[in-house]
């Protein structure tokens, strides 16, 4: 029995409904008592020889009582479910509000998975707690006293015995509550860890596969899943102990009451009629306790879930609203930092020390500095994600701590280097900047941002779904959407944080032009390491060692030849080159292509895995495959399941035989002794069945979770481009969890539900075939009703699973995009979306509960009417002299017992509908075709000078893509040479890198590595040959050491140290609080963009593979670090075949061969000088880049 006062607090506003449900439940109990008391009275009348025709009206009256009781049960249950839905909605909103209060600063240290488990699954697990458990708890407490009041009217001593036994059964299990609560908390922690690890692993699958570490990651996840299994079994141990006490208490209570009553009848202190009534009531008096016992499992989950929720709710935000905020109508768009000292929580290094500067209204100020100098930290301080440790941050002359958070953020529009776009349409993402924007305003903003042209060419224009994190758009397109969003924001202060760090030359000039329009009339802070971003600033502030090292215009700072000169000299020299003559007709033809990002050129697909297509027989067959290795445990579950039910029935049978013996004057002490033995045995058998079934079930769940990850590993990245990672996490956690009901609560009980009624029918046929015949229709109704309504129920269960998958995905998007949600004051709108999705889920769920409740009530009424039919038939047989009247109680109880195992199956009918929905989703993933399979393997020659690469007329199209990503692409790279791939966005450069890694296979043509077709390699062998440094570096929520060692886990300390030096990471490591053991946060968010990229480069150094692919490898680095890293890369490239994908002239000009691509075709190839002379596509790209900074400088 679990009661949590903190959970109860969330019921404020619906407590009258809860007490209403309890009141209806109490009425249902009273009608249940009346039903059984009347049945006992009818049997007494039969004992007395009353003709059947005189009992017609009483029979009808009992039937009416049974139907009314069923209707009351339906009403109580539906009131409880609708109440639970309201509480869940409120609780989910409370959790969301807490997430937004904690802000991105909190989740830079914590994991998204923790919040998702609390917000979605944690709240979902509480549905049964609020909808069934809580009302049932109150009814269970009241019922013994109600029955005492009824029975005391007939016999006070018997009533006292029944009350004592019921209270013992209710109270004693509470002894284990503290232990249970402690183990539930441990289980909740283990569950959160698994969810977070799974999310981290799925989002980082491309990185894991690139370094051949996905199998190792699966082993790590397996350990985490096993820890979850063990913690679950500890909770089950305490839970089962409490259930065992409840079961034993129920059976002993029945036995003691009957024994005591039998002796009182023999002694003449009580009539036989009262004993008969006690025999019949023995079922009902403990029914609420039995119902409570059936909900114990959900009570366990509720306890665990509530702890997860409370941990999140108890967290303290790093910043909070002022107690008395300053009332301001408008703020002057000025910015000032005065004596600011700041270090990130848990950091050893101070980011800023005595930092002071001011920006006047309308001024455009650039901020430059080495990677990790604290540029992004200033942005976070201005948005008040953090507060400084010392000093003051001001906007409009006011300390930020005196202003409402919404007022601060309402003054600022941000364009980040890591632009976060939400899953949804282009229009949805634009309206983050202005929720009430009209279609005309969206179009105007996109025109200003140079985005309208590409948006209008997308398949559904502004209504095109762009995928999680905007994956269906290229980097340049995402940046332009972010700029349009900032335009719509129309805030007086604009912050540009590395807005051009990772775009190609063509896009850079387009985006810079859009930014110029956006900056007009606004106070602008530009944080960048690209010269083109800051060259036109009114002032440039140079950050170094946490403070302002230099200040001035570009020309002034270059003349000083200090830090700024060191950072920008190379770029200034590059832009000083002369103009290049180009032939416009030979440039890119890509402008009119409605291109997505290369790896995501898909037609629209369902982002959420659909629960459809699989029927129950096929689903059961699929699930049974997992059970086959556990045949021994399954057989034991069958055995204990049958003996447990037979023991329960046996108690009723022996009790009825004892009553018969009392009536006939035969000895009954032996029967009472047998009753005393059988009572605890029934409880023990139930405990054994439950323990073994759950042990098997939770072992299978752990295996299913790992099987899901291993399948996603084989499908990634192609499959993940069109799915949402939040949905995948929901499948690994809640979907798999729901399958437990099949393994633990269906397989063995289904066997018992067939066997036991068959045995009962045999006994009834023996004593009077007419009684068996009249029972058959009622058993048929109960047995067939779930199947008759199954299709509708299963469909609603499947739709509910999809709706919950959408909720999971929305929550992941909200938490991982929290910085955008808060910076754009989009909290209320995002909360409204969560509310709408929750209400949509409830609109599916409540009709689902209605159907299931009707089934449950139908079973309840059929059980009662079946018993009544047996009594009526038995009475006729007694009147005819064909049946001994003393056998009637026994046969009646047997008839009603036939329904017991069927009712247990019906009780899990709701969960089985969910189970089918979950199984359908898991099956859909399991049977998704794998795009790339292992080859037979080749003998690998370890060439010291690299491995040759050759592409032979390669055609490739992304699944249902709208165009060829590669079209008869052909070029070669000789061993040890460097090949540069250049071209506009969507030209096919990154596609070639992905095909080399065999993330996909071409439809036509071949790719050769070392003289072998890539398809002949085993995948792990192939990927060991290639080191990939991608533009978007993914870091796992682990230590810095673990993130680097992904490249080669067995590397020595000396090798690791040398790698840190070569990747310019040694200084960073020295400044971290725990050095290499410092946790880098989810997706490496505790490091700057440049620092994350250096980690990616360190991985390449450590991997030491013969082929190196550098995909914009230095795009996030400042000039000083870029030069240092580039020198190291040049050293690394010396003995390797290298593919360089870049848009910076300085990165590609020294390549042995440059291959220019457009629309997936090789347009031209040659050296830098040769291609400039031709004046074609390459020359055009170079001209765009040189004209950018040179033109701006001249201006």
H/E/C letters for each residue in 198-228? Answer: HHHHHHCHHHHHHCCCHHHHHHHHHHHHHHH
Return the percent helix, strand and coil in the chain, to nearest 5: 65, 10, 25
1107-1111 and 966-973 as β-strands: parallel, antiparallel, unpaired? unpaired
Q: Give the model's confidence band at 223: pLDDT under 50 very low, under 70 low, under 90 confident, else very high.
A: very high
Contacts of 525 (CB under 8 A, 6+ apart): 335, 359, 365, 367, 378, 379, 382, 493, 494, 495, 496
Weakest-pLDDT range from 203-212, 307-316, 392-401, 464-473:
464-473
Angstrom distances, CA of residue 258 to CA of 11, 165, 272, 898, 941: 41, 12, 11, 22, 85
Looking at residues 504-516, what average pLDDT do you find? 69
Q: Give the model's confidence band at 574: pLDDT under 50 very low, under 70 low, under 90 confident, else very high.
A: low
pLDDT for the residue 894: 78
Angstrom distances, CA of residue 31 to CA of 35, 244, 251, 679, 871: 6, 29, 23, 27, 19
Contacts of 545 (CB under 8 A, 6+ apart): 353, 373
1026-1029 and 539-544 as β-strands: parallel, antiparallel, unpaired? unpaired
CA neighbor of 421 nearest in space, from 480, 370, 374? 480
CATH topology of domain 1032-1104: Rossmann fold (3.40.50)
Count Cα neighbours of 393 within 13 Å in the Cβ-side half-sphere: 22
- H-helix or E-strand containing 260? helix 214-266
Judge residue 848's burial from the number of C-beta atoms within 10 Å of its C-beta, 0-12 exposed, 13-18 middle, 19 or more buried.
buried
CA neighbor of 1111 nearest in space, from 986, 989, 1008? 989
pLDDT for the residue 817: 87
Looking at residues 185-190, what average pLDDT do you find? 79
The answer, yes or no, to whether residue 588 has pLDDT greater than 60, is no
Greater pLDDT, 313 or 246: 313
Q: Give the model's confidence band at 592: pLDDT under 50 very low, under 70 low, under 90 confident, else very high.
A: very low
The answer, yes or no, to whether residue 1194 has pLDDT greater than 50, is no
How far, rounded to the nearest angstrom, does the alpha carbon of residue 223 sit from its chain's CA centroid?
19
Helix/strand/coil for 364: strand
Weakest-pLDDT range from 222-226, 236-240, 287-291, 943-947:
287-291
Tell me the range of 27-36, 95-104, 573-582 where mean pLDDT is highest: 95-104
Which pLDDT tens digit goes with each residue over 640-673? 878 877 777 777 788 778 878 887 888 888 888 8
The answer, yes or no, to whether residue 578 has pLDDT greater than 80, is no
The answer, yes or no, to whether residue 1145 has pLDDT greater than 60, is yes
Whole-angstrom distance, CA of residue 91 vs CA of residue 97: 10
pLDDT for the residue 1041: 93
Looking at residues 383-401, what average pLDDT do you find? 91
Q: Do domains 5-317+612-926 and 947-1025+1108-1115+1133-1195 have the same CATH topology?
A: no
pLDDT for the residue 1121: 65
pLDDT for the residue 968: 92
> Which residue(s) pair with 949 in the sheet?
973, 1009
pLDDT for the residue 294: 61
Whole-angstrom distance, CA of residue 905 vs CA of residue 787: 12
Which pLDDT tens digit goes with each residue over 136-165? 777 777 888 888 888 888 888 888 888 888
pLDDT for the residue 655: 79
Which pLDDT tens digit goes with each residue over 435-463? 999 999 999 888 888 888 888 888 888 99
Greater pLDDT, 688 or 1164: 1164
CATH number assigned to the domain with residue range 947-1025+1108-1115+1133-1195, chosen from the 4 options 3.40.50.261, 3.40.50.300, 3.10.20.600, 3.60.21.10: 3.40.50.300
Helix/strand/coil for 912: helix
Backbone dihedral region for residue 764 (phi beyond 0: left; psi -120 to 50: alpha; all else: beta): alpha
Instruction: Check if the beta carbon of residue 1128 is closer than 8 Å to that of residue 1062.
Output: yes
pLDDT for the residue 587: 47
Angle at 36 between CA 33 and CA 41, to 5 degrees: 120
Judge residue 664's burial from the number of C-beta atoms within 10 Å of its C-beta, 0-12 exposed, 13-18 middle, 19 or more buried.
exposed
Q: Give the model's confidence band at 600: pLDDT under 50 very low, under 70 low, under 90 confident, else very high.
A: very low
Q: Delimit the domains of the chain by residue range.
A: 5-317+612-926, 426-486, 947-1025+1108-1115+1133-1195, 1032-1104
Looking at residues 311-325, what average pLDDT do you find? 87
pLDDT for the residue 778: 84
Looking at residues 851-873, what average pLDDT do you find? 84
The answer, yes or no, to whether residue 591 has pLDDT greater than 60, is no
Homologous superfamily of domain range 5-317+612-926: ABC transporter type 1, transmembrane domain (1.20.1560.10)
Mean pLDDT of the chain: 81
The percent of residues in the chain predicted with pLDDT above 70, rounded, is 89
- H-helix or E-strand containing 493? strand 493-497
- Residue that the structure tokens 């291109």 belong to: 595
Looking at residues 1170-1192, what average pLDDT do you find? 75
């Amino acid at each position: 029995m679990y009661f949590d006062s903190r959970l109860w607090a969330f019921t404020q506003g619906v407590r009258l409904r809860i007490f209403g449900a309890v009141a209806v439940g109490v009425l249902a109990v009273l009608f249940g008592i009346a039903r059984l008391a009347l049945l006992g009275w009818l049997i007494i009348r039969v004992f007395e020889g009353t003709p059947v025709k005189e009992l017609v009206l009483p029979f009808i009256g009992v039937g009416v009582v049974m139907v009314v009781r069923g209707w009351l049960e339906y009403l109580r249950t539906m009131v409880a479910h609708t109440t639970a839905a309201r509480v869940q909605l409120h609780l989910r909103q409370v959790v969301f509000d807490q997430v937004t209060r904690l802000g991105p600063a909190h989740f830079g240290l914590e994991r998204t998975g923790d919040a998702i488990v609390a917000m979605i699954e944690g709240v979902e697990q509480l549905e049964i707690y609020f909808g069934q458990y809580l009302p049932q708890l109150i009814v269970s407490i009241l019922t013994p006293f109600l029955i005492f009041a009824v029975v005391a009217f007939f016999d006070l001593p018997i009533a006292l015995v029944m009350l004592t036994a019921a209270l013992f059964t209710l109270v004693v299990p509470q002894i284990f509550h503290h232990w249970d609560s402690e183990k539930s908390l441990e289980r909740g922690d283990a569950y959160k860890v698994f969810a977070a690890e799974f999310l981290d692993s799925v989002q980082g699958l491309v990185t894991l596969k690139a370094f051949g570490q996905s199998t190792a990651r699966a082993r790590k996840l397996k350990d985490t899943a096993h820890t979850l299994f063990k913690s679950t079994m500890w909770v089950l141990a305490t839970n089962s102990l409490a259930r065992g006490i409840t079961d034993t208490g129920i059976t002993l209570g029945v036995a003691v009451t009957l024994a005591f009553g039998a002796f009182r009848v023999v002694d003449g202190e009580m009539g036989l009629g009262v004993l008969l009534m006690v025999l019949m009531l023995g079922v009902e008096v403990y029914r609420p306790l039995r119902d409570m016992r059936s909900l114990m499992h959900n009570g366990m989950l509720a306890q665990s879930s509530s702890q997860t929720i409370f941990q999140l709710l108890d967290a303290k935000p790093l910043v909070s609203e002022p107690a008395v905020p300053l009332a301001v109508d408008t703020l002057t768009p000025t910015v000032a930092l005065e004596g600011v000292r700041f270090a990130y929580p848990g950091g050893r290094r101070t980011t800023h020390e005595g930092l002071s500067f001011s920006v006047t209204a309308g001024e455009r100020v650039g901020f430059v500095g080495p990677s990790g100098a604290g540029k992004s930290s200033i942005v976070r301080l201005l948005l008040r994600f953090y507060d400084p440790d010392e000093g003051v941050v001001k906007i409009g002359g006011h300390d930020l701590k005196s202003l409402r958070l919404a007022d601060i953020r309402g003054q600022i529009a941000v364009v980040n280097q890591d632009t976060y776009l939400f899953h949804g349409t282009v229009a949805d993402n634009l309206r983050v900047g202005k929720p009430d924007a009209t279609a005309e305003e969206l179009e105007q903003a996109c025109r200003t941002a140079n985005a309208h042209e590409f948006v209008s060419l997308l398949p559904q224009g502004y209504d095109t779904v762009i995928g999680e994190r905007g994956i269906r758009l290229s980097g340049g397109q995402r940046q332009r959407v972010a700029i349009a969003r900032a335009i719509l924001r129309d805030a007086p202060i604009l912050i540009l944080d590395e807005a051009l760090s990772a775009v190609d030359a063509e896009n850079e000039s387009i985006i810079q032009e859009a930014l110029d329009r956006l900056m007009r009339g606004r106070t602008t802070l530009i944080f960048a390491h690209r010269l083109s971003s800051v060259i036109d600033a009114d002032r440039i502030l140079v950050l170094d060692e946490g403070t302002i090292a230099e200040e001035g215009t570009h020309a002034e700072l270059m003349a000083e030849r200090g830090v700024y000169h060191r950072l920008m000299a190379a770029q200034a020299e590059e832009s000083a080159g002369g103009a290049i003559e180009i032939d416009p007709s030979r440039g890119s033809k890509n402008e009119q292509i409605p291109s997505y990002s290369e790896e995501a050129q898909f037609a629209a697909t369902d982002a959420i895995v659909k629960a459809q297509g699989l029927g129950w027989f096929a689903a059961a067959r699929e699930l049974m495959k997992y059970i086959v290795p556990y045949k021994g445990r399954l057989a034991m579950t069958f055995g204990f399941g049958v003996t447990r039910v037979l023991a329960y029935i046996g108690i009723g049978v022996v009790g009825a035989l004892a009553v018969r013996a009392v009536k006939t004057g035969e000895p009954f002490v032996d029967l009472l002794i047998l009753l005393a033995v059988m009572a605890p045995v029934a409880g023990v058998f139930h405990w054994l069945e439950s323990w073994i079934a759950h042990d098997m079930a939770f072992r299978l769940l752990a295996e299913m979770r790992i099987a899901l990850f291993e399948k996603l590993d084989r499908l990634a990245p192609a499959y993940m481009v069109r799915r949402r990672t939040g949905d995948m996490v929901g499948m690994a956690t809640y979907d798999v969890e729901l399958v437990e009901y099949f393994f633990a609560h269906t397989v063995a009980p289904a066997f018992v539900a067939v066997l036991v009624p068959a045995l009962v029918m045999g006994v009834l046929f023996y004593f009077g075939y007419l009684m068996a015949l009249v029972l058959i229709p009622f058993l048929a109704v109960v047995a067939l009703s779930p199947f008759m309504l199954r299709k509708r129920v299963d469909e609603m269960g499947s739709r509910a699973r999809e709706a919950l998958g959408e909720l999971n995905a929305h929550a992941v998007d909200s938490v991982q995009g929290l910085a955008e949600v808060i910076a754009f004051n989009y909290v209320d709108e995002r909360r409204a979306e969560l509310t709408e999705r929750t209400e949509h889920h409830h609109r599916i769920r409540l009709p689902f509960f209605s159907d299931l409740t009707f089934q449950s009530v139908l079973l309840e009424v059929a059980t009662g009417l079946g018993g009544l039919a047996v009594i009526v038939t038995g009475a006729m047989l007694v009147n005819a002299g064909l049946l001994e009247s003393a056998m009637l109680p026994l046969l009646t109880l047997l008839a009603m017992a036939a329904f017991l195992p069927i009712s247990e199956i019906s009780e899990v009918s709701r969960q089985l509908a969910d189970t089918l929905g979950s199984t359908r989703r898991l099956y859909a993933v399991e049977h998704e075709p794998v795009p790339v399979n292992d080859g037979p393997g080749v003998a690998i020659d370890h060439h010291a000078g690299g491995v040759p690469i050759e592409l032979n007329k390669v055609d490739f199209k992304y699944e249902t893509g709208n165009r060829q990503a590669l079209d008869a692409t052909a070029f070669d790279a000789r061993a040890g040479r460097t090949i540069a791939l250049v071209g506009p966005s969507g030209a096919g450069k990154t596609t070639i890198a992905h095909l080399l890694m065999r993330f996909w296979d071409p439809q036509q043509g071949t790719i050769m590595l070392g003289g072998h077709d890539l398809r002949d390699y085993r995948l792990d062998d192939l990927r060991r040959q290639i080191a990939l440094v991608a533009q978007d570096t993914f870091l796992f929520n682990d230590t810095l050491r673990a993130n680097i060692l992904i490249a080669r886990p067995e590397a020595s300390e000396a090798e690791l140290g040398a790698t840190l030096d070569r990747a310019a990471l040694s200084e960073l490591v020295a400044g971290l609080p725990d050095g290499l053991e410092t946790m880098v946060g989810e997706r490496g968010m505790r490091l700057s963009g440049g620092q994350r990229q250096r980690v990616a480069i360190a991985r390449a150094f450590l991997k030491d593979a013969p082929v190196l692919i550098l995909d914009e490898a230095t795009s996030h680095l400042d000039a000083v670090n870029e030069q240092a890293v580039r020198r190291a890369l040049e050293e690394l490239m010396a003995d390797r075949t290298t593919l360089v994908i870049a848009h910076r002239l300085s990165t590609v000009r020294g390549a042995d061969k440059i291959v220019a691509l457009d629309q997936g075709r090789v347009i031209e190839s040659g050296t830098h000088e040769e291609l400039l002379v031709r004046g074609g596509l390459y020359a055009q790209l170079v001209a765009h880049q040189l004209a950018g900074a040179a033109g701006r400088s001249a201006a």
